[in-house]
């Protein structure tokens, strides 16, 4: 504001009557998008950043992070090697048992994992169920054309059917994804972030890779906090409800602003870390020490893997 500039009338309210009337029950509900965003932000803050589950005592929390990392990675590799879907099932069951023994709510855990499966896997495997994409023995004929159908150079066969091989492949893929995600979520939930990064360095994962992981973690937090601020600021200036369409438009237009802002801010965060001696090498406030229980757990996991892989090879 320039020196001695007078406030305009519309701002001072002089010569204007202001309505202070309002109808009870007129209050608007928070928009669905804002609600989702704020909910997500709070969830991530409270569950991921505060490391609540990781600081609770439990089976996996008590393990040495290095041993846990090796065990989990071996299980992950095993899941991707298995060729029989019914052998992945016991491994999935094993993750549930470990989750329960680590005092993780099974309802929350199962929901968290299965939430992503339809989105990321089911859509991908859906076409491969049909004989049009993957020829095989029909399991369920949806429509019999009675004659050879061709689409340009492609022959689509005489019927549209879901095949036995298609279903088998889809079940195998979905089970692999579910079990792998379950193992990943289990590792992330029960290990403090700094311990996990430190364990990666113990296994000589390059420092730059660990640095990127570490910054990504901080960055998600900043991004969420900023998105929350932008929404709150918008809500405070809005009169009347906004339609979902307006909400979507707002999200699209504010995404760029959000990225720009959080980028500038993340420079500051990095500066603050460097200023206190950070050089990309994670350091933790305690030293790792393995106990007999760690080795016992790793031996059990190795034995389970050996039996399952042996079974898989025997069954062909």
Partner 1 sequence: MADTTADTGAGAPVFRVDSVSYRYRETVALAGVSLTIGAGERVALLGANGSGKSTLLKMLDGLIFPDQGHIRALGHELSAEALKDDGFSRMFRQQVGFVFQNSDAQLFSPSVREEIAFGPLHLGLSLEEVGRRVDDTLHIMGLEQLADRPPYNLSGGEKKKVALASVLAISPDVFLFDEPTAGLDPKTVSFLERMVLQLSDAGKTVVTATQDLELARVIAERVLVLGEDHRLAGEGPPDEVLTDRELLLSSNLIHDHSHRHDERGLEHIHPHSHLTDHGHQHG
Binding footprint of partner 1 on the chain (CB under 8 A): 3, 45, 49-51, 192-194, 218, 221, 225, 265, 268-269, 271-279, 281, 283-287
Q: How many CB atoms lie within 10 A of CB 259?
A: 12
- CB closer to partner 1 out of 92 and 288: 288
- CB closer to partner 1 out of 3 and 26: 3
- CB closer to partner 1 out of 110 and 215: 215
CB of 237 to partner 1, least distance (A): 21
CB of 269 to partner 1, least distance (A): 5
- CB closer to partner 1 out of 133 and 283: 283
- CB closer to partner 1 out of 92 and 278: 278
Q: What is the separation, in whole angstroms, between the first and last Cα of the chain?
A: 80
- CB closer to partner 1 out of 12 and 155: 12
CB of 230 to partner 1, least distance (A): 15
CB of 197 to partner 1, least distance (A): 13
Give the whole-angstrom CA distance, residue 304 versus residue 51.
29
- Buried/exposed code over 99-109 (b: 16+ C-beta within 10 A; e: otherwise): beebebeeeeb
- Buried/exposed code over 121-135 (b: 16+ C-beta within 10 A; e: otherwise): beeebeebbbbbeee
Give the whole-angstrom CA distance, residue 278 versus residue 297.
34
Residues with Cβ within 8 Å of residue 40, at least 6 apart in sequence: 224
CB of 108 to partner 1, least distance (A): 20
What is each CA distance from 216 to 43, 61, 88, 210, 233, in whole angstroms?
Answer: 18, 23, 32, 10, 25
- CB closer to partner 1 out of 20 and 276: 276
Q: How many CB atoms lie within 10 A of CB 262?
A: 20
Is 145 exposed, middle or buried (CB count within 10 Å of its CB: 0-12, 13-18, 19+)?
Answer: exposed
CB of 225 to partner 1, least distance (A): 7
Helix (H, G, I), strand (E, B) or coil at 139: strand
CB of 297 to partner 1, least distance (A): 25
């Amino acid at each position: 504001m320039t020196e001695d500039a007078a406030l305009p009338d519309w701002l001072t309210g002089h010569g204007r009557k202001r309505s202070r009337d309002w109808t009870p029950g007129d209050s608007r509900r928070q928009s669905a998008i804002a609600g989702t965003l704020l909910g997500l932000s709070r969830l991530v803050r409270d569950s991921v950043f505060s490391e609540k589950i990781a600081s609770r005592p439990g089976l996996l929390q008590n393990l040495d992070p290095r041993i846990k990392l090796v065990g989990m990675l071996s299980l992950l590799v095993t899941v991707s090697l298995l060729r029989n879907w019914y052998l992945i099932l016991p491994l999935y069951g094993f993750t549930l048992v470990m989750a329960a023994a680590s005092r993780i709510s099974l309802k929350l855990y199962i929901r968290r994992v299965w939430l992503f499966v339809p989105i990321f896997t089911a859509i991908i495997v859906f076409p491969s169920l049909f004989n049009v994409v993957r020829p095989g023995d029909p399991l369920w004929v949806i429509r019999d054309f009675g004659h050879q159908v061709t689409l340009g150079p492609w022959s689509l066969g005489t019927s549209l059917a879901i095949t036995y091989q298609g279903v088998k492949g889809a079940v195998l893929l979905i089970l692999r994804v579910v079990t792998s995600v379950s193992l990943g979520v289990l590792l992330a939930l029960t290990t403090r972030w700094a311990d996990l990064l430190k364990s990666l360095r113990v296994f000589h994962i390059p420092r730059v890779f660990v640095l990127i992981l570490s910054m990504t973690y901080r960055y998600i937090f900043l991004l969420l906090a900023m998105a929350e601020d932008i929404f709150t600021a918008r809500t405070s200036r809005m009169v009347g409800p906004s339609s979902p369409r307006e909400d979507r438009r707002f999200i699209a237009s504010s995404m760029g602003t959000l990225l720009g802002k959080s980028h500038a801010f993340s420079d500051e965060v990095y500066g603050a870390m460097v200023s206190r001696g950070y050089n990309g090498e994670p350091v933790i406030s305690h030293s790792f020490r393995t106990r007999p229980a760690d080795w016992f757990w790793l031996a059990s996991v190795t034995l389970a893997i050996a039996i399952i892989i042996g079974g898989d090879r025997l069954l062909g």
